[in-house]
Each structure stands twice: as C-alpha cells, then as structure tokens.
Amino acid sequence: MGIKPKTCFLKKLICVHGRNTVVVSKTALLIDNLIHAQVEKWNSHSG
C-alpha cells in the first residue's frame, strides 16, 4: 500500500521537472536504495 503514493509522488516530480527527469530518477533510485537498506537494518534488529 505504501508503494502507490510514492510512485504517484515520483510521477508528479518527473512531470514537474521534465527537464531533470534523469536527475530525479537517479535521486529517486538512490533514496529508494537508502530506504531499502534502512528497512533491512530494522528487519535484522527486530528479528
């Protein structure tokens, strides 16, 4: 459920910053990787 709003948000970002799509995509990917790493940390701590 948490994925949909994020995707919509990213789509809005890309629409607003059409020129900077590549930068936005790379930034989004980086943020996504950071979030994923953080979730992995939390999962290993809770488990």
pLDDT at 17: 57
Maximum separation of any 2 CA atoms in the chain, in Å: 43
pLDDT of residue 37: 93
User: What are the residue boundaries of the structural domains of the chain, listed by start?
Assistant: 14-46
Q: Which residue has the higher pLDDT, 17 or 44?
A: 44
Q: What is the Cα–Cα distance from 47 to 39, expressed in whole angstroms?
A: 12
CA distance 6 to 44: 24
Q: Is the dihedral of CA 19, 22, 26, 29 positive or negative?
A: positive
Q: How confident is the model at residue 47 (pLDDT cuts 50, 70, 90)?
A: low
7 Cβ contact list (under 8 Å, min separation 6): none
Q: How far apart are CA 10 and CA 36, in angstroms?
A: 16
Query: What confidence tens digit (pLDDT) does each residue in 1-43 have?
Result: 455 666 777 677 666 656 666 777 788 889 999 999 999 998 8
Residue 27: per-residue pLDDT: 86
